[in-house]
Chains A and B, each alone.
Chain A
Amino acid sequence: MAAEIELKKAKETKNEDVDNLRHVVTFNIGAEEYAIDIMIVIEIIKPTKITKVPLALDFVKGVVNLRGNVVPIVDLKKKFMISSKENAKEIRFIVVDINKKTIGFQVDKVSEVIMIPETQIDATSSIVTGISQNYIAGVARVDDRLITLLNIEKLLSEEELSKISE
């Protein structure tokens, strides 16, 4: 519903062509609102039992059983080094497909699926988010909200991982 309304809004206010809309999932980590492209999202699940993986990186929460597949879960909050309290009931795993590999991201809360017109996205932003600029695809203004669009593929890219392990 929310998406539809947003879509309508977007259409009404900006009269944009649908082609120029970015279809994203928005979620919260701490106080910030983020979004990732909906095309890479497989599903959003409630937290299930996590099996810790010894000696793994600290932001790797472990692995979960997703219908018979073992899927690693990354704690985005830890990755971004944000510390805040979250409501345990609202925690979700966003399961995405990155380069044919399935991986889940733990976020504090998933809010909605919206369309953001390209024109509303600033490619480079001066807004300081505390997250390395590498992962940020842009910042969008939707009404009075500021949504950081994440480039989640880059989050776990080879160089990122090697940087960490060093």
Chain B
Amino acid sequence: MNDFLNNDMLQDFFEESKEMLEVLNQGILTLEQSGGGNIEIVNEIFRSAHTLKGMSGMMGFNNMNHLTHTMENVLDKVRNGQLVLSTDQVDVLFECLDKLNIMINEISTNGSDANVDVEATIIKLKNILNSEKTAAVEKKQSSKSASANAAQPSVKDTAEYIDIDYLKQLKIPQYIIDELNAYDVEKIQEFIENDFNLYLIEYKMERDFLTKGKSILQFFKKLSAETEVILSSTPVNQIPNLKDFKIEKFDLDLFFIIASKFEKKEFHNKIDTPLSMIKDIFLIYQDAEPELQTEELNIPDKFVIDLDGEFVTPEILSSFKEEAVEHIQEFNSCLLEIEKDINHYNPDYINIMFRAMHTLKGLANMFGLTPISEFTHKIENSIDAVRNEKIQIDSEMVDLLLKNCDILNTMLRELVETNQITKIDKTALIKLINYMNIKLNAGDEISADSDNAYNIENYFFGESDTEKIKECIDDGKNIFEIYFYYKKDFNEKFDNFELMRNKIELFGDILGLTVAIDKIGGLTNFEVEDFDLPLKLYFATVESETTISMLMDKSEEEVKKLSTEEIKKIIENGEKNENTSYVDIKTKTEKPKKKVQPSQKTEAPRPITAVKKSEPIKETQAAASQKIETPATVSAATATADKKNDDASSANTPAQATPATANASSSTVRVDIEKLDTLMNLVGELLICKTQVEQIGLTFDLNVVENRSKLKFMTEQLGRVTNDLQEAIMKTRMIPIGTVFNRFPRVVRDIAKNRGKKVNLVIRGEETELDKTVIEEIGDPMVHLIRNAVDHGVETPEKRIAAGKTEIGTLTLNAYHEGNHIIIEIEDDGAGIDPDVIKRKALEKNLISEDEARTISDNDIVRFIFKAGFSTAEKVTDISGRGVGMDVVKSNISKINGIVDIQTKLGEGTKFIIKLPLTLAIINSLLVKVSDQIFAVPLASVIESVKIDASEINSIEGKYEIIKLRNTVIPIIKLNKEFKLDTPQKAAKMFVVVIGLAEEKFAVVVDELLGQQEIVIKSLNHKIVSTPGIAGATILGDGQVVLIIDVSTVIANSKKKFVKTR
């Protein structure tokens, strides 16, 4: 299991589950809006929930698994149209999403979801389910009892006679129980009472069985000599649908229940003939050794490999493991592929999976690793059933298979490390087997509801077949049912099946071919030498019965013209069974059978029990799957914990040079393969450049003119490639902002609903890409702004109508590029902010003087909402809206070198504009010189730079300095003072760089402006050099290290002084 839970996996899990949540979130929203009618969306939601379930199950996050499972159940109901979600129910779903989100975050920080309580939510979900179920069940029951009563009153009696529970205790597979009748059961009981052990042998009659007839005969002889054969049959429901029946590919499965006095080992020895066709031998009941009763699987709890044997050396073992792991991986990946689109997967995957397990089984057998071979064998069987289309693979099965793969992996590892397997976890395998059994009999329920069929074969026909039949009838053709045997005699006559087919097709249409189940005798009269596979052919022709008889070389008795009534029944049944292509065909006809001996089982349909027994099983299974505690949870926890530590210590990405909050965001980026291709190309070009430069270097002579131009050319080339390369690498860090935007529809919905408002959210430019680190940081401030916009900006419908606006408010999110920046706009058409109110507040709080208040522009005054403490002290929300935590928004944005601005018009709406750098790794900066040292100021926060005279700086109260610039008063920051640099500036002319963060402007006095430059941010990752006011460092072209000024900190620091001096 640990192999699976490495950090990469966890990372993938984290990212993928986030994605899934995103999809769910949006899907449910859309669903609610569209009133639940959109099947595609429901499917999508369902798939996402399902994937989440699968992933959490794989990772061993049980709470999450449990929750998603229940969610899936609910969604399934929705999908099937059994449930239309009410608003309250949608709320429950959203609650689930929230819980999931918490869990995912928990997992990424602690590696476990154990702390998140999901019970309450699950109960809510179950309530939804139950309210639905009761209705459905009532309906179902009424219809069922009606049909049961009408169809056959005697059915019930027979069914009750068979004690299903009793058989279940015997570990008899479900599909066999279905085959048993009262007489068989009685017989079984009798043997058990007489201290016999019961065995089940599964036997595969392969397509070339005719050539192997002799060995089968030996086998049977041995069997009947040594043991008592209770019954034999074929699991009829495993015979494929008529449509898919191909005689060339048909293997007949048989099973025998055998009573024997032999112990298991002896029994194995007795019948251990080299028969490849024996699929399985189970001990289904063992007398006098009750402790072994549980041993349905031939797997011990412990396994110690015998290394004394010369054959299995540790080296061989480890190479075996390697190979085995490969196979399992292959198996796993196929499973996952299938799961992606479980309804339309590529059947090749199943084949690959089958081969993988099969090979592994062979290997394990070769080395005598019985537990592994047993596991693989069972898994192989289940895949085989899928391959033969006996069952349909579904998510539950995928989950089970994955779990078993995990266990296999664990066993393999333990085996190689310690030469033994101390604890073999069979629970998952048992579950798989149970699941298979249930699945294989899934058809029961369906057939139970339908009428007692006239002919089992009817079920072979689907709608398309029936249509064909109708056509044929319309053409005046007769339909014949022809019995024939596939045997030596057959081969003599027709060489092969194809020839026969070609021959008879000259005379009519073959409607279908199948095994004539009712002609297969029981073991009692089973003579292998005489056993030919009875086949039944449906044939439409205009020819007469006699002609067909002659053609097929059959007696007329075996060629039977179907009456119109019979055909009608076939058609009816075909239509009925259209959606259930793998219907059970065991419901036997009461029609007298020609070749069936009286000693054979007397068939009786058991529709009611079939339904009854499978339901509780499913439920207990579900319960069990929820309870299973995998050890993985613990290891996952430690794994993540370690990872976290690693992350923390190596968190020196440039972006985190500024104090970053600890967040649970992931440290990987998914990169579009195209971007990587571009990178590869560029690196290739760079290499070419490099070799060319090297070439020149070898023969370099500056005096040769040609060399000079060559060198110039090469450096240009090199410059171009490096630039492109830089850009391309930057792009790999870019992700569309849609990933952030997508969570907002939900936010808007929730608040709007809560406040009784109607808001239409318009999202534009979600494909705009920006750096991952920026994306991670921008989410929270945006949520804040959007919340405010809905809460305070957009008015209630009544107010809106009163104001002459549309009832539904509009909130627009827009993102677009502007140079090296990305602009995000959040605009509402709500009430806007009243500048007078802000002005009053500002005056109250002494933030501006009366004079200033008179002159200040509306735009400037509105920006006061970003001031710390401006809004939080009192409820601004009551009067104008906006404001709660705006200073937090601002500081968050400035942390990533962004700025935020606001435009508002009373009565018309408000617009927030966020300007962010595209990336945090490379920024455009203004290089300035202060006290002979160069500093870089992020250009994003530079508003302008002005040359001033020293006299323009005014000192207020001799404590702080200001400068008046175009009628705006701007406080001065002197970097040499801030940074305690040596020489004071004493030039008459100097420069000020006006830096702005949100609404605040400061003028930084510098000695010299050196110009703009793109710089790569390098972190100062050592504590001893991390200084407040310095965001990082960069290296200039000449190799000089230059420090980057952290504008927000510098401003914050000088503001502190500002406040102090006041």
Contact of B1022 among A49, A54, A64, A101 (CB under 8 A): A101
- CB distance B980 to A54 under 8 Å? yes
- Given A52-B933, A70-B1018, A72-B1020 in contact, is the A65-B1025 Cβ separation under 8 Å? no
Is A51 at the interface (CB under 8 A from chain B)? yes
One digit per residue, 1 when the CB lies within 8 angstroms of any chain A CB and 0 when it does not, for chain B 1007-1050 equals 00000000000111111110111100101000111110000000
Give Cα A99 to B652, complex, Å. 14
- For A100, what are the chain B residues with a Cβ–Cβ distance below 8 Å? 649-650
- CB distance A54 to B1030 under 8 Å? yes
- CB distance A54 to B979 under 8 Å? yes
Give Cα A49 to B1042, complex, Å. 11
Is A69 at the interface (CB under 8 A from chain B)? yes
Is A127 at the interface (CB under 8 A from chain B)? no
Contact of B1041 among A54, A65, A99 (CB under 8 A): A65
Is A161 at the interface (CB under 8 A from chain B)? yes
Give Cα A57 to B980, complex, Å. 12
Is A60 at the interface (CB under 8 A from chain B)? yes
- CB distance A156 to B1024 under 8 Å? yes
Is A55 at the interface (CB under 8 A from chain B)? yes
Contact of A72 among B978, B1024, B1030 (CB under 8 A): B1024
- For A62, what are the chain B residues with a Cβ–Cβ distance below 8 Å? 1025, 1041
Give Cα A117 to B1043, complex, Å. 45
Is A63 at the interface (CB under 8 A from chain B)? yes
- CB distance A64 to B1024 under 8 Å? no
B1018 to A, closest residue via Cβ:
A70
Contact of A65 among B933, B1040, B1043 (CB under 8 A): B1040
One digit per residue, 1 when the CB lies within 8 angstroms of any chain A CB and 0 when it does not, for chain B 229-264 equals 000000000000000000000000000000000000
- Given A70-B1018, A100-B649 in contact, is the A51-B1033 Cβ separation under 8 Å? yes
- CB distance A74 to B1027 under 8 Å? no
Contact of B1024 among A52, A57, A65 (CB under 8 A): A57
Contact of A53 among B1025, B1035, B1040 (CB under 8 A): B1025
- CB distance A53 to B1043 under 8 Å? yes
Give Cα A52 to B1020, complex, Å. 13
- CB distance A101 to B1021 under 8 Å? yes
Is B981 at the interface (CB under 8 A from chain A)? yes
What distance in Å separates the Cβ of A30 from its nearest Cβ neighbour in chain B? 22
- CB distance A55 to B1028 under 8 Å? yes
One digit per residue, 1 when the CB lies within 8 angstroms of any chain B CB and 0 when it does not, for chain A 99-111 equals 1111100000000
- Given A65-B1039, A65-B1040, A100-B649 in contact, is the A53-B1022 Cβ separation under 8 Å? no
Give Cα A130 to B434, complex, Å. 78
Contact of A51 among B1022, B1023, B1029, B1041 (CB under 8 A): B1041
Is A56 at the interface (CB under 8 A from chain B)? yes
Residues 843 to 898 of chain B near chain A (Cβ within 8 Å): none
- For B1035, what are the chain A residues with a Cβ–Cβ distance below 8 Å? 65, 68, 70
- For A51, what are the chain B residues with a Cβ–Cβ distance below 8 Å? 933, 1033, 1040-1043
- CB distance B1041 to A63 under 8 Å? yes
What distance in Å separates the Cβ of A137 from its nearest Cβ neighbour in chain B? 21
- For A53, what are the chain B residues with a Cβ–Cβ distance below 8 Å? 1020, 1025, 1027, 1030, 1043
- CB distance B1024 to A74 under 8 Å? yes
**Central interface residue in A49, A54, A72, by most chain B CB within 10 Å:** A54
B932 to A, closest residue via Cβ:
A52
- For B979, what are the chain A residues with a Cβ–Cβ distance below 8 Å? 54-55
Give Cα A19 to B1016, complex, Å. 45
Give Cα A32 to B192, complex, Å. 95
- For B1043, what are the chain A residues with a Cβ–Cβ distance below 8 Å? 51, 53-54, 63
- For B1023, what are the chain A residues with a Cβ–Cβ distance below 8 Å? 156, 161
What distance in Å separates the Cβ of A154 from its nearest Cβ neighbour in chain B? 14
- CB distance A49 to B1025 under 8 Å? no
Give Cα A161 to B1023, complex, Å. 9
- For A64, what are the chain B residues with a Cβ–Cβ distance below 8 Å? 1041
One digit per residue, 1 when the CB lies within 8 angstroms of any chain B CB and 0 when it does not, for chain A 56-95 equals 1100101111001110101000000000000000000000
- For B1018, what are the chain A residues with a Cβ–Cβ distance below 8 Å? 68-70
What distance in Å separates the Cβ of B1038 from its nearest Cβ neighbour in chain A? 9
Give Cα A103 to B1025, complex, Å. 10
- CB distance A103 to B1022 under 8 Å? yes
One digit per residue, 1 when the CB lies within 8 angstroms of any chain A CB and 0 when it does not, for chain B 122-153 equals 00000000000000000000000000000000
- Given A65-B1041, A100-B649 in contact, is the A54-B981 Cβ separation under 8 Å? yes
What distance in Å separates the Cβ of A8 from its nearest Cβ neighbour in chain B? 39
What distance in Å separates the Cβ of B56 from its nearest Cβ neighbour in chain A? 34
- For A60, what are the chain B residues with a Cβ–Cβ distance below 8 Å? 1024-1025
- Given A70-B1033, A101-B1021 in contact, is the A54-B1027 Cβ separation under 8 Å? yes
- CB distance B980 to A161 under 8 Å? no
Contact of A70 among B978, B1027, B1029, B1041 (CB under 8 A): B1041
Give Cα A63 to B1025, complex, Å. 8
- CB distance A63 to B1039 under 8 Å? no
Give Cα A69 to B1022, complex, Å. 12
- For A68, what are the chain B residues with a Cβ–Cβ distance below 8 Å? 1018, 1035
Residues 970 to 1009 of chain B near chain A (Cβ within 8 Å): 978-981
Give Cα A46 to B556, complex, Å. 108
Give Cα A23 to B1033, complex, Å. 35
What distance in Å separates the Cβ of B296 from its nearest Cβ neighbour in chain A? 54
- Given A52-B933, A55-B980, A69-B1018 in contact, is the A63-B1027 Cβ separation under 8 Å? no
What distance in Å separates the Cβ of A75 from its nearest Cβ neighbour in chain B? 11
- Given A49-B1040, A54-B981, A100-B650 in contact, is the A63-B1020 Cβ separation under 8 Å? yes
Residues 19 to 64 of chain A near chain B (Cβ within 8 Å): 48-49, 51-57, 60, 62-64
Give Cα A56 to B1028, complex, Å. 10
- Given A54-B980, A63-B1033, A65-B1040 in contact, is the A70-B1020 Cβ separation under 8 Å? yes
- For B1033, what are the chain A residues with a Cβ–Cβ distance below 8 Å? 51, 63, 70
- For A57, what are the chain B residues with a Cβ–Cβ distance below 8 Å? 1024
Give Cα A56 to B1020, complex, Å. 12
A98 to B, closest residue via Cβ:
B1022
- For B1039, what are the chain A residues with a Cβ–Cβ distance below 8 Å? 48-49, 65
What distance in Å separates the Cβ of B925 from its nearest Cβ neighbour in chain A? 15
Give Cα A52 to B979, complex, Å. 11
Give Cα A85 to B1020, complex, Å. 30
One digit per residue, 1 when the CB lies within 8 angstroms of any chain B CB and 0 when it does not, for chain A 136-156 equals 000000000000000000001
- For B1019, what are the chain A residues with a Cβ–Cβ distance below 8 Å? 70
Give Cα A49 to B1040, complex, Å. 7
One digit per residue, 1 when the CB lies within 8 angstroms of any chain B CB and 0 when it does not, for chain A 119-132 equals 00000000000000
- For B933, what are the chain A residues with a Cβ–Cβ distance below 8 Å? 51-52
A sample of 12 more A-B contacts (CB under 8 A), given A64-B1041, A101-B1022, is A48-B1039, A49-B1040, A53-B1030, A54-B1029, A54-B1030, A60-B1025, A65-B1039, A68-B1035, A70-B1035, A101-B1021, A103-B1024, A161-B1023
A-B contact pairs, 7 of them (CB 8 A): A54-B978, A55-B1028, A57-B1024, A63-B1020, A63-B1043, A100-B649, A156-B1024
Task: Sort A-B residue pairs by CB-CB distance and give the 3 closest, nearest first.
Answer: A54-B979, A51-B1041, A72-B1025
